[in-house]
Structure 1
Amino acid sequence: MSWDGLAGIVREARRAGDRVGYFAALYRQVTVEVRAAIHGGLFDDGARMDRFDTLFGNRYFDAYDAWRRDRSGPRCWRETFGLLDDADTVIVQHLLLGVNAHINLDLAVAAARTSPGEAIHGLRRDFLLINDILARVVLVVQDSLGALSPLMSLLDQVGARTDERILDFSVRQSREEAWYNAVLLAGQNEEEREATIERLDIRAAVLARLIARPGGVVRPAMQLIRSTESDDVPAVIAHLDHAMERSSARPGTG
């Protein structure tokens, strides 16, 4: 199951001080929330969403394994993993690079494989619910970054973070596009699917480069943010890995 695999990546990343644990910690919490929703009967078809969750997670594991093996895999994941050793990349960039690749490429592919052909239309409500869970976790984790990145508020001041938008990357818009692409993929033959997946990967890789190297006033703001961030990678991973627990424990939340 994806939760166990993610827990292993997070554990190993904490031990090794590897920034791959940043996004893995965020994504582990998504799988925990999805599992709770499945067990709570919130989805129209829990067994189907269990398959979806597994297919979605396997996209990440396959990309991670390909990168570790020979620096291969989808372009957008290569852009993401390629910045893990870049000391100038801020925490939120690492998180958004992973979110970008997973939403703008993997989400549609996993949905289409879960419900191919006309069956895709019956997935819409559960797809939107899983996306609500994903967006909620992303926002909680972003909001928890203040303890690690004291100047994160600079992004608001330079207009780079408004309505789920950071560095020209909109989670909301990407979720809507992922559904459109899922419907497209579900109705295509194998050759057409390969071409569509290639196009989605190229587009997500372009977005990854924009997230990694923002222009205008955002760039100096990011440099200033990075200068005050925690360099304790294991501590950052541990903090990110418990963001949802802290959110649920606060009065008036959860």
Structure 2
Amino acid sequence: MTTTPTGVGTVVSRMRALGAALPQGDGVAVFNRVYLSVTEELERRLAAGAFADTATAGQLAVRFAGRYLTAVGDDAAGRRPPACWRALLRVRGHHDIRGLQFALAGINAHIGHDLALAVVDTCRVADCEPPALEGDFDRIGEVLTGMEVRVREELMPGPDPLERADPLTHLVGSWSLERARDAAWAASRVLWSLRHLEGAYAECAERLDAGVALVGRFLLTPLGDR
């Protein structure tokens, strides 16, 4: 399995290396470009002391990003990544899926699934309860909101193409990073409460993965001619 990064700087370096190795139009590359820019901003805020607990916020950011990097690494090595990431990885070269869809599907998998599990991972390591992370979780969420804004600014068609691409505007309008983040926080609280019940925890995590994967498959509906 891919090694978890040791710091946000390591995360940034690995994302840059991944981006350099992927074709420009690859679906993972599209998401990686957006996520890299947001992670660089997060690194700057951590260095500036913008979090209540810089060390724990950094751990959360690293464990969060590590789940994405592990999913991509496992897929490249022939191992089975989570279902939410398979939704994107299987169609990453599809010509009838727009860059905006790839980016949103990646954000959906990462926020909807990885973030909840990263909160639990961080609480285990830091020996704290999820409420202790809530303030910095929200501060990281503010940075992540920039991911959705950047996606819409850089990958959304202009006004004329939008009139011809109504299915795309419908897909974009049907998904919200803020609601996904709220759901991730709720899921992390549930998972934390089940941490000592191995079977129940595994089932809950599996159902979370399946539900996020279902949304991802809808976001990746091929839309035909560009």
Q: Same fold (TM over 0.5)?
A: yes
Aligned length: 212
Unmatched 5+ stretches in structure 1: 214-218, 228-254
What is residue 184 of structure 2 aligned with on the other side? 178
Q: Is the 8 A contact 1:71 1:78 kept in 2?
A: no
Aligned to 1:2: 11
CA spacing shift, 1:12–1:125, aligned 2, 3 Å: same
Amino acid at match of 1:2: V
Correspondence 1:172-211 to 2 at 5 A: 172-188=178-194, 189=196, 190-211=198-219
**Percentage identity across paired residues of the two chains:** 25
Is 1:121 paired with 2:108? Answer: no
Distance 1:21 1:210, change over 3 A: same
- Are residues 17 and 172 of structure 1, via their aligned partners in 2, closer, same or farther at CA, if it must alter by over 3 Å? closer
What is the root-mean-square deviation in Å for CA atoms of aligned residues? Answer: 2.3
Q: Residue 19 and residue 174 in structure 1: after superposition, are their counterparts in 2 closer, same or farther (change >3 A)?
A: closer
Structure 1 CA distance for aligned equivalents of residues 16 and 145 of structure 2: 20
Give the Cα–Cα distance (whole angstroms) in 1 for the partners of residues 163 and 135 of structure 2: 36
Amino acid in the other structure paired with 2:134: R
| Counterpart check, 1:142 vs 2:152 | yes
Counterpart of 1:70 (choices 78, 90, 93) is 78
The aligned amino acid for 2:177 is V
Shift of 1:187: 2.2
Q: Is the 8 A contact 1:30 1:134 kept in 2?
A: yes
Q: 2:33 & 2:172 partners in 1: Cα distance?
A: 19
Does structure 1 retain, via aligned residues, the 8 Å contact 2:19–2:32?
yes
TM-score, normalisation: structure 1: 0.76
What amino acid maps onto 1:181 in structure 2?
A
The runs of 5 or more residues in structure 2 that have no matched partner are 1-9
Distance 1:159 1:97 in 2: 13
| TM-score with structure 2 setting the length | 0.85
1:127-167 C-alpha deviation (Å, 9 max, x unpaired): 01111111122212321225xx4456349966946xxx715
